[in-house]
Amino acid sequence: MGVGSGWSKTWTFFEGDWHEGNVPIMGPRTHAAWLCSVVFDGARAFEGVTPDLDLHCARVNESAAKFFLKPNVATEEWIQLAREGIKRFDKDAALYIRPMYWADREGPWVQAHDPERIFDHTVSLSSSYT
């Protein structure tokens, strides 16, 4: 479903570029899709502020490390990506911001993911449902 098809307005930074709508970011063979090797942290933007955005972006890196995913995006880079995404919405939009990591492929065993094979620079922003 895209914008206007039941989803709120959404922008996602994925594979080095911004995409509008409900972008397919995982496939049926993606490790995270069937074995839940994914972490994210939810931040908010509203009324021109982003409370604790830095803490949310740092926490997604901490969560990735605890989940044996290689956190290869600096906190400052997550913050910059979030700010870029925020600019794609109306100034007064209330947003939910999700920086995330997930495993792409299995490791030495099917159940264990390969910590080096992750997607980085993936942040999704969506406006609140009204």
Report the C-alpha gap between 104 and 29 in whole angstroms: 8
Is residue 97, in this structure, part of any structural domain at all?
yes
In a domain, 23, yes or no: no
Task: For residue 114, give the amino acid letter.
Answer: D
pTM tops 0.75, yes or no: yes
User: By three-state DSSP, how is residue 78 classified?
Assistant: helix
The Cα 34–Cα 29 span in angstroms is 8
| Total of domains in the chain | 1
Q: Is residue 89 part of a domain?
A: yes
103 found inside a domain? yes
Convert the pLDDT of each residue in 41-98 to its tens digit. 999 999 999 999 999 999 999 999 998 888 989 999 999 999 999 999 999 899 999 9
Tell me the residue range of the domain where 63 lies: 28-127
Query: Is 18 inside any structural domain?
Result: no
The Cα–Cα gap between 47 and 52 comes to: 14
CATH at residue 89 = 3.30.470.10
